[in-house]
Structure 1
């Protein structure tokens, strides 16, 4: 199993510091989640049949013609390589943008597909090669925040569909970015779009996400995942969050402001970072040392060890967290 952010129990055990004494910046999850009401009693008692109300709320929020609810986008990330293998009866030639959320390449490789990791700047050339059957990317990218224009994505999807291929676009961090989603086009052959309720809404523990794709592929994916995949409480809480336009608008503005604040704070310490409203990332030359220094200060950050190495920081939850991060960065900058 790959290592991910949010592994605070492991940090607490390793450093001998209780969970309550940590500032966890290791994920890109909104630190102030949607204020979910308690679900109705029948959500716990009844088998969770598919919710039309949840699908309607999701389609309206994401501007999609049809969506399949899944138990977090991770469920789809794991299932799609298996489904592709089942449908084609042979491994595919898969291009995965790099760097990227590591589960994408991992799951395609684990299913037996031939995976090649390609830098974002070289994706257009990679798609033009007829050997490319599946292209997987995040938009915005996790962890760098890199973006691909929708017109390029749709052009790539058409190219791949013409040879029976797929374009998988993970838009898990797309809620604070206007004009880049291709969810509205997800009914087109070959295009698969993933959306997450965990990041922007801060409801990662709900395990709720959505897949947009052509109807035959969604039907096949639903059959692969099986019945009752979304719990009753997740259906009710997810529907409420997706319909709450005032909370969404206020939260989007807050996150954009705080994302700019984090970017500026890092710049004050000579760190040239990139990212989204929910996180900042940079290729840190002393990444393990930075990670260790923050951990000694009780701040848990995401360490990337592949390639040149890098660091990703999420948003502090309150002013005390901002002060704590500022002080730790001061000590890092003044080390000698």
Structure 2
């Protein structure tokens, strides 16, 4: 399996210590206060609750959605579904981005290539499937909705797909194309884990034409979303007051992180939930922070860089500031 953030047990095993600050994911550290599930949620088979789809469609502004066990489930299933429906495809994945996309398209035998975001226009004509993460993880790069919809139309004209991963789209709602998922060839992924801070719930949604959603649902099989997860998600998706307050808080904390990094000579960019920068000494910075029990995400190789999420309390902010000051002194 590929390496991801959130692997705090590995960090503790390697570096020791107990009082760790985990900045290795872009998950909201102040997650939704999940209500206790009903007894039925534990005791009954988790048949799909139509209220979950209605709540999600209202929140994302989408005409129809399929609940899935996190966007990861869809990322793994879509290459298989495409192969079953149309055979091997010419696939372009915007790079750098969430590595699971390229990994699974390649693994299923598709002709896969990775293309920089600023070269995507030229790649559309030579592709059957194009995958774009918007806003991008880890760099925060974005693509305008009208550009995405134009690409989707070009691909759909020859039976292709545009897959838009909007897992971090909650804090950039104007970028979303979820409201257009009735169009041919457009597939949109949304996550409940990031903005709502409910990564352990393992819940996301896929938006696409209804026949494609039906085929994906058949492939994934029954009972993919637990009863407790459905109840918690319905409450979170309908809690507009919490959503507004969280948008305000994340905007404030994201701006604070950007300013903190800039004050220590780091030119970072991203979203309110995470910041990323290219770092020639990325491995050294990663170890420097780990020795202070601060776990950041290291991106090695061609996309060498560092990504940091948000801390959950004021003492963590102060520890991060101190660690950055010490890094500048090295």
Q: Which bracket does the TM-score occupy, shorter chain normalised?
A: over 0.9
SS in 1 for 2:88: coil
SS in 1 for 2:30: coil
SS in 1 for 2:173: coil
**Which of 91, 94, 97 matches 1:94?**
91
In the alignment, structure 2 segments of 5+ residues that lack a partner are none
Residue 103 (structure 1) aligned with residue 100 (structure 2): yes
SS in 2 for 1:270: coil
User: Which residue number corresponds to residue 310 of structure 1?
Assistant: 305
The TM-score with structure 2 as length reference comes to 0.99
Task: Tell me how far apart the structure 2 counterparts of residues 24 and 183 of structure 1 sit (CA, whole Å).
Answer: 31
Question: Aligned residue pairs: how many?
Answer: 330
Alignment of 1:1-336 (within 5 A): 1-18=1-18, 21-88=19-86, 90-127=87-124, 129=125, 131-335=126-330
Task: Tell me how far apart the structure 1 counterparts of residues 174 and 287 of structure 2 sit (CA, whole Å).
Answer: 38
Describe the superposition over 1:147-205 as per-residue Cα deviations: whole angstroms up to 9, x where unpaired: 10000000000000001100000000010113110000011110000000000000000
Contact 1:285 1:308 in 2 (8 A): no
Offset of residue 16 of structure 1: 2.0
Task: Tell me how far apart the structure 1 counterparts of residues 107 and 42 of structure 2 sit (CA, whole Å).
Answer: 35
Contact 2:96 2:303 in 1 (8 A): no
Task: Tell me how far apart the structure 2 counterparts of residues 220 and 17 of structure 1 sit (CA, whole Å).
Answer: 48
Contact 1:73 1:210 in 2 (8 A): yes
Offset of residue 308 of structure 1: 4.7
For residues 293 and 108 of structure 1, do their structure 2 counterparts lie closer, same or farther at Cα, with a shift above 3 Å needed? same
Task: Tell me how far apart the structure 2 counterparts of residues 295 and 27 of structure 1 sit (CA, whole Å).
Answer: 15
Task: Tell me how far apart the structure 2 counterparts of residues 118 and 306 of structure 1 sit (CA, whole Å).
Answer: 16
> Could you list the runs of 4 or more consecutive aligned residues of structure 1 that deviate by over 6 angstroms after TM superposition?
none
In the alignment, structure 1 segments of 5+ residues that lack a partner are none
Describe the superposition over 1:263-285 as per-residue Cα deviations: whole angstroms up to 9, x where unpaired: 11000111110100100000001
Offset of residue 43 of structure 1: 0.1
